[in-house]
Structure 1
Amino acid sequence: MTTSASEFNEPPVFSPAESESSSAIPERLLGRVALMVTIMSTVLLSANALVCSTLSHFFGIPGWSHWQILPAALAIAFIATTLLGFRYSNPLLRTLYTVSATWLAALNYAFFAAIACWIVDGAATLAGWTWPRFGIAVLLFGSALLTTLYGLINASSPRVTRVVVPLPNLPEAWAGRTMALLTDVHLGHLSGPGFLRRIISRLRILQPDAVLISGDLFDGTPIGLDRLVAPWHRFSPPRGIFYVTGNHDEFAERSIYLDAVKRTGIRVLNNEKVSLDGLQIVGVHDAEAGDPEQLRSILRQVELDAQRPSILLAHQPANLAVAEEEGISLQLSGHTHGGQFWPWIYFVSRIYGPFAYGLSRLGKLLVFTSNGVGTWGPPVRVGTKSEIVLFRFVREMSAS
């Protein structure tokens, strides 16, 4: 990576947080992990029970059958392989994770198909219709299967989203130039070096002047990180690659992930500002960006030049009022996945409002939230797309 040392002379405002423990999962998180595992197990097993009982009823399979153990086991396997990933990484574990995560995608739509089966059957009974239960189940569960297959294909086909962004006082050097945003890659058991090589191949074609990575480069596993990020060694845009952590990059001790990224030559922005030909880039890690007071303190200590445009790289579209008050021109985020797949896209829209996806404005602050290029959990996208975002900057026209 070719970057001038004189461009990066601002010292970090805060150094990366140190963990109280050297274990993969900090002790302070163990209680929360146990609670999450209990809740997820209960929800997944309940959903499996409904799907299996519906299939048995509508397809005429008598009583409890041993086959029903398999979907329940796959649901639990997803949780187990996720936790084991904090200690181990091998082909068997990655295969089991992939199969179980794919089953969760199918389970999501099978669950709604099961509910629909009972609703249609109940309505038919009340109306006196004689619809065959077998036909109802074939139609609804078949639709669920086709939706799952579509989601798998859609998620594995990242697209390029091109966005023109007007910035105030844009330096002449950046007029018409491009910068790529890459977020939520989620490298781990499911998406490995091969997936990253495909993404980098697209970046080579796009030829951005710089690449910004706004968190969740990793899925959470702290094992085998050098193998996962190895393809970055062979890619170097003219103005560099810059990275801040997301919440998944802080599941274990943060330095584990940061060190792996640094070894590739990527510039980690440790709550600091750098200047690229007059364009100010501020990177704030997820833990600090999530705390409004820490975020405000960082933005003040980096001493932004109000006469130059600034870009805040932060994983989540949160605490936007703080960024706007402190004079940030554009915030680039991810995290939401746009909801990733139906019906969860509606819940994400309710939580984040206009900042769930796309380009929005809060006062003088522009905010772009990307769907991300990868997936978490079920490797499907229904109602969203995986994307690399390519920004082209232009001068903001002043009101006449």
Structure 2
Amino acid sequence: MIVVFVLAALLVLAAFVALHWWAWRRLVRDTTSGPGPARRTGTAVLVAGPVLMFGALVAEQAHAPFWLQRTLGWPGFLWMALCLYLLLALAAGEAVRPLVRRLVARRAGVEPREVVRETVPPAPGAVPPAREPEAESEAESEKPAAPSRRLFVSRVVGGAVATAAVGTVGLGTYGVLKGPRVKRITVPLAKLPRAAHGFRIAVVSDIHLGPVLGRGFAQRVVDTVNATQPDLIAVVGDLVDGSVEDLGPAAAPLAGLRARHGSYFVTGNHEYFSGAAQWVEQVRELGLHPLENARTELPAFDLAGVNDLQGESEGQGPDFARALGDRDTSRAVVLMAHQPAQIHEAVRHGVDLQLSGHTHGGQLFPGNFVAEAANPTVAGLDTYGDTRLYVTRGAGAWGPPTRVGAPSDITVVELASKQA
């Protein structure tokens, strides 16, 4: 098993090095006329980027001093996103490069290399005609033009590649930092009494407070949630990426969450990487009610919560029987469960609605295809048997503070009674 892991790691490393060599060749070597400040600067960037990225990953996993995690986090994780879009943009650049080359050659009045001119061989014994001075001058002037055209084409394509990658990451990062947007959906529940028609649950997931997203981001989330004036707030896991000691101050604004029926919390997989027991106590002190395989009876329906699947590694996994057993099955029940994959147990236990996160909607296109392969539902409302499942894309981001094709959201789920 260890041998397989080492071989896989070496293959990933080799692919990573090959990508950066390709990027250096196309974006630095081919766009500069020779050694100089521009080439040295480009080379330095393409060496420092991956070093910072691996440094950020190692610092986070090794629980390095928090100041070091923060120092490496921004440039390192942003480079992770930039790598992805440089790869996609470079692949597109290779496809259009021949077209750009032909277009430039035509505009210069020169036939592309692929076109071979037909020539008529001279008759035996014939003396070749003397070249006119003007023709000779034109031929000589064309000699240095070829490398100039190649350099021009490389700069046009390389500039487009770099602009597309940096622009995509820049816009995706701005979208995260400005805070999640509010999304609203209505979910009819057969067992919901008429008196609870219009009950609003603000669903918040995957805030991922850590070395990059801190206290200011938490405050924006709290302000956005409170502005929706929900009846209940459901925080469905992956609140943090770090210890209470490091991130307690960043999570402090959560004490400002306001809802008529309170705020509730269940663990996500990242809580178990960060000290789940400590965070459960911390959110309790902040005024949230942790539901650890537990259920509470609200006036119109039951609200239940189960631990994340990652908790099984600590003997604290989800226990549906404990959370949902011996309940009044005539009442509607809403379940908070971090991962959409928990829906199948929810169906077996007669849950009416499950609220989940975890997927980030893929976060970085084309990551949505990977998320689709690993989860029954990536985002939005779905139905499994008699159970509805809603998956939010989450409020924050893991790793790169960047989203592309999967905007962050806080969802207000409005429950509808079929008796209304």
Q: Give TM-score scaled by structure 1 length.
A: 0.81
Distance 1:49 1:78 in 2: 21
Letter in 2 for 1:88: P
Deviation by residue 1:53-80 (Cα, 9 ceiling, x = unmatched): 3213431365885513212222222213
User: Which residue is equivalent to 1:192?
Assistant: 214
* Structure with higher RCO (Cα < 8 A, 6+ apart): 1
CA contact (8 A) 1:184 1:374 kept: yes
Do structure 1's residue 55 and structure 2's residue 17 form an aligned pair?
Answer: no
The counterpart of 2:409, out of the listed 382, 387, 390, is 387
Label 1:35 to 1:301 Cα distance change in 2 as closer, same or farther (>3 A). Answer: farther
Do structure 1's residue 72 and structure 2's residue 94 form an aligned pair?
Answer: no
Do structure 1's residue 139 and structure 2's residue 143 form an aligned pair?
Answer: no
User: Which residue is equivalent to 1:13?
Assistant: none
The counterpart of 2:253, out of the listed 231, 235, 240, is 231
CA contact (8 A) 1:200 1:235 kept: yes
SS at match of 2:340: coil
The counterpart of 2:185, out of the listed 163, 167, 172, is 163
Label 1:372 to 1:167 Cα distance change in 2 as closer, same or farther (>3 A). Answer: same
**Residue correspondences, number:** 364
Unaligned runs of 5+ in 2: 103-111, 116-148
CA contact (8 A) 2:194 2:418 kept: no
CA drift of 1:133 comes to: 2.2
CA contact (8 A) 2:203 2:233 kept: yes
The counterpart of 1:332, out of the listed 326, 337, 355, is 355
Deviation by residue 1:89-110 (Cα, 9 ceiling, x = unmatched): 22x5313201211122222111
Deviation by residue 1:224-273 (Cα, 9 ceiling, x = unmatched): 23212111223332211111111111114321221221221211111011
The counterpart of 1:103, out of the listed 44, 58, 79, is 79
Label 1:74 to 1:248 Cα distance change in 2 as closer, same or farther (>3 A). Answer: same
Distance 2:33 2:241 in 1: 39
Distance 1:95 1:229 in 2: 20
CA contact (8 A) 2:291 2:305 kept: yes
User: Which residue is equivalent to 1:251?
Assistant: 273
Label 1:168 to 1:394 Cα distance change in 2 as closer, same or farther (>3 A). Answer: same
**Percent of aligned pairs sharing the same letter:** 27
Give 1:122-137 correspondences, 5 Å limit: 128=114, 132-137=153-158
CA contact (8 A) 1:225 1:257 kept: no
CA contact (8 A) 2:306 2:320 kept: no
User: Which residue is equivalent to 1:23?
Assistant: none
Give 1:165-314 correspondences, 5 Å limit: 165-287=187-309, 295=318, 297-298=320-321, 302-314=325-337
Deviation by residue 1:274-319 (Cα, 9 ceiling, x = unmatched): 111131111001027889xx75653576323221111111111014
The counterpart of 1:152, out of the listed 173, 183, 189, is 173
Label 1:290 to 1:50 Cα distance change in 2 as closer, same or farther (>3 A). Answer: farther
Unaligned runs of 5+ in 1: 1-30
CA contact (8 A) 2:263 2:288 kept: yes
